[in-house]
Structure 1
């Protein structure tokens, strides 16, 4: 990697709020959506990757959008600046072929 990257993760209650968060995140910074899935009890999770300076404002935009969505509730969120290679290799946060075309 030429620049330090970060991973940002948001978990919400309900699909509309995670959709709003994902939309706001990719519009709020030069980031790539690398993971989406259902968590448990009606929760959804989304992860983004990009430069540290891009992930921070994207996460802020995503959290704001999720909280402003009717019925939306942020259950948890976390940003990991410069995750080690072994974390990227094990967790589903790597740039896959599926998302590669969306990277700038």
Structure 2
């Protein structure tokens, strides 16, 4: 976490929307996809990390992509510049590397 300056998060209702958001985020800026969290009752968040400008660009692109979809259901979005190091404890839980078995 120390090498990154920001986190970008988008929360939608439904897997299709969060996948569209994640795709747009990763294509729009030099960010790393951290993972996702199935929050509750269909709400899903996607997390990226990178420098502040890249996270802002990525979140804006992800939000626009969801809003452009028919029935696009964006719940919330945020960019956290310079997150406190303890947030790494939460983020680690939702890391893609913890979800994928090889």
Say whether the 8 Å CA contact 2:35–2:96 is kept in structure 1: no
The answer for the alignment partner of 1:68 in structure 2 is 68
Matched residue SS, 1:58:
helix
- Cα offset, 1:93, TM superposition: 5.2
TM-score of the two chains, using structure 2 as the length reference: 0.82
The answer for the alignment partner of 2:78 in structure 1 is 78
- How many Å separate the matches in 1 of 2:55 and 2:45? 16
Deviations 1:5-36 (A, max 9, x none): 10011100111111110000000100011021
The answer for the alignment partner of 2:22 in structure 1 is 22
Moved over 2 A (4+): 96-99
TM-score of the two chains, using structure 1 as the length reference: 0.81
Say whether the 8 Å CA contact 1:16–1:69 is kept in structure 2: no
Aligned length: 96
Q: Please, which runs of 5 or more residues in structure 1 have no aligned partner?
A: 100-104
CA RMSD, aligned part only?
Answer: 2.1
The answer for the alignment partner of 2:48 in structure 1 is 48
The answer for the alignment partner of 2:91 in structure 1 is 92
Matched residue SS, 1:39:
strand
